[in-house]
Structure 1
Amino acid sequence: MALRSMTGFATVSGQVDGVGWAWEIRSVNGRGLDVRLRLPEGGERLEPVIRAAVPIKLVRGNVSLNLKLSRMGDDGTPVLNFENLTAVISAAAQARTIAEANGMELRPASVAELLTQKWVWDTGPTMNQDWVEAAKAQIPDVVEMLVNARKAEGVALLSILTTQLNTADNLSKSARVLAVARNARAGGALRTKVLAVLEITDLVDEDRLAQELAVLAVKADVTEELDRLDAHIIAARGLLAVSGPIGRKFDFLMQEFNREANTLCSKSNDTDLTAIGLEFKVVIDQMREQVQNLE
């Protein structure tokens, strides 16, 4: 299974015996799989079929599926409900007159806006029900089209996350160089201070002093944090190569990334190294935004 996003959209339409329909399915990110349906009168029998078909193909995401009906003319185009349209236009004119009488101005609705309203189209009860079976046959197709749309988004996510991981890897390499230089400077400064203390007093236990200096050096060392960040980068690249849903695992990994970056900043005690740590946090936040969309 290719890397998949939880974001996608697909539509399928059809017609039979003067009845037209259009399936619209879309999904956004979600903690689990949630399917919401909007079906016209007569389409209720399709609900169990849809709820059985979606989990076969999708694991996570908030999925909305809408089925719209319209009466089709002999030429295959939707039929307007002139009675409804005329009534609404008349009501709009009356509303405009009342508004003007009260010193108000109403913006007239455009034809394009009116045509987006479902009551403009004829979906009367006299339509036959033969469309149900034909629309039912399209359910696997529309779900598969959504899967393909999510795969296409997944390709883009893979490219973005790969680039961000490369950036994180380069930051880690730079941080190691800076850490070595910082340790050398810090060690030299400590030695200078110790020598200054020893010159003015002989009450210092040199062994105890050496132990304390070693403890300070360990506390300031960021090698372990960088090692763990490198391990997380390797783990993230491994997840991107996994076949199957990886969103939850990747989200947990991002928490570990953030923990190490915070520790790196708190222990750096060096302007340049702190700057690297802050850049790490920026990249991690950018990655987390992308990971939220992974299935």
Structure 2
Amino acid sequence: MVHSMTAFARAERAGAHGTLSWELRSVNHRYLEPHLRLPESFRDLESAVREALRQNLSRGKVECTLRFDEANAGKPLQIDRERTTQLVAVAESVAALIRQPAPINPLEVLAWPGVLVADVADPQALNAEALGLFNEALTQLKAGRAREGAELARLLEERLDAMLSEVAALRQLVPQMLAAQRQKILERFRELQAELDPQRLEQELVLLAQKSDVAEELDRLCTHIAEVRRVLNASGAAGRRLDFLMQELNREANTLGSKAFDPRSTQTAVNLKVLIEQMREQVQNIE
């Protein structure tokens, strides 16, 4: 079963000390590329989050954002007096070096990290809760990628069916097209009233048939289509393998077009290339 690289997940949990929320967004990318946005007090989680992503995802650019809204309503604000005193002293020392310093703004002092003392829970317990919530969000993200992957697989299967129909129709037409081409050459010679060497003419017709023989390309197209279906139904990451198979399908369609000697075979080659390009665009989103 294939998975998409595009998905979104959000998980939120309210507790005694505030509300934790994770937002995970993933888009297609050649490799697994995590981008983490964590509050400073949760930086210790970074390695665990990266490892969880590595264990569960193979490819995709994944943005992980953690927010923590502290529940401080109704609680008195407290300051770290020692840190505040040090901060003011340093500010006054700097002001002494300036000719006309601006007065110290108390609100700017309060905004300095560590001045306000928050009533928070045990950091280790809060980190464990945040990591558990992240795993919930990651499970949601994987489920979303699986659902979209199933839809991508369905779209690819539809186009594979269309390709097989094109190949089957051309197989039936090839003998008719070769016979028509043979008759056209014979009529051209008769119009020119040229003296025909039957043996030489037969050699030329055989050579034309060989150059126009597309059975090998049609067989390889069927083989690649079967392989695409096998990869779609297999487990594990499939995007790179499918991308390679799209290149091989396109190669056979190009060869088919170069051998075309009838408008119907030319149209078949064009139709196949359109279907392959549609699949290639979808494959770019598969993990």
Q: TM-score range by the shorter chain?
A: 0.7 to 0.9
1:40 corresponds to which residue? 39
Taking the aligned partners of 2:21 and 2:206, their CA distance within structure 1 comes to 72
1:68 corresponds to which residue? 67
Aligned to 1:281, which of 270, 273, 276? 273
1:83 corresponds to which residue? none
Aligned to 1:167, which of 162, 165, 172? 162
Shift of 1:182: 1.0
Superimposed CA distance per residue, residues 37-92 of structure 1 (whole angstroms, 9 cap, x where no aligned partner): 111121110100001111111111111111112123669xxxxxxxxxxxxxxxxx
Taking the aligned partners of 1:72 and 1:292, their CA distance within structure 2 comes to 43
Taking the aligned partners of 1:138 and 1:43, their CA distance within structure 2 comes to 13
Shift of 1:5: 1.0
2:219 corresponds to which residue? 227
Taking the aligned partners of 2:186 and 2:260, their CA distance within structure 1 comes to 19
Shift of 1:183: 0.9
Compared CA separation, residues 264 and 187, structure 1 to 2 (3 A): same
Say whether residues 1:261 and 2:253 are aligned partners. Answer: yes
Higher Cα Rg, which structure: 2
Partner SS, residue 134 of structure 1: helix
Shift of 1:137: 2.1
In terms of mean alpha carbon deviation, does 166-175 or 130-139 score higher? Answer: 130-139
CA RMSD of aligned residues (A): 2.2
Partner SS, residue 69 of structure 1: strand
Residues 6 and 293, structure 1, Cα contact 8 Å, conserved in 2: yes
Residues 8 and 26, structure 1, Cα contact 8 Å, conserved in 2: yes
Taking the aligned partners of 1:41 and 1:17, their CA distance within structure 2 comes to 20
Partner SS, residue 40 of structure 2: coil
Residues 32 and 62, structure 2, Cα contact 8 Å, conserved in 1: yes
Partner SS, residue 20 of structure 1: strand
Superimposed CA distance per residue, residues 97-131 of structure 1 (whole angstroms, 9 cap, x where no aligned partner): xxxxxxxxxxxxxxxxxxxxxxxxxxx76252453
2:137 corresponds to which residue? 142
Taking the aligned partners of 2:256 and 2:117, their CA distance within structure 1 comes to 68
Residues 36 and 63, structure 1, Cα contact 8 Å, conserved in 2: yes
Q: Structure 1-normalised TM-score?
A: 0.75
1:81 corresponds to which residue? none
Partner SS, residue 163 of structure 1: helix
Aligned residues: 243
Q: Structure 2-normalised TM-score?
A: 0.77
Partner SS, residue 244 of structure 1: coil
Aligned to 1:191, which of 186, 189, 195? 186
Residues 4 and 294, structure 1, Cα contact 8 Å, conserved in 2: yes
Partner SS, residue 191 of structure 1: helix
1:211 corresponds to which residue? 203
Compared CA separation, residues 271 and 74, structure 1 to 2 (3 A): same
Say whether residues 1:241 and 2:233 are aligned partners. Answer: yes
Gaps of 5+ in 1: 76-123
Residues 33 and 62, structure 2, Cα contact 8 Å, conserved in 1: yes
Partner SS, residue 4 of structure 2: coil
Superimposed CA distance per residue, residues 269-290 of structure 1 (whole angstroms, 9 cap, x where no aligned partner): 2222212221111111111111
Taking the aligned partners of 1:62 and 1:137, their CA distance within structure 2 comes to 22
1:53 corresponds to which residue? 52
Partner SS, residue 148 of structure 1: helix
Residues 10 and 145, structure 1, Cα contact 8 Å, conserved in 2: yes
Compared CA separation, residues 32 and 125, structure 1 to 2 (3 A): farther
Shift of 1:193: 4.1
Residues 182 and 205, structure 2, Cα contact 8 Å, conserved in 1: no
Taking the aligned partners of 2:142 and 2:169, their CA distance within structure 1 comes to 40
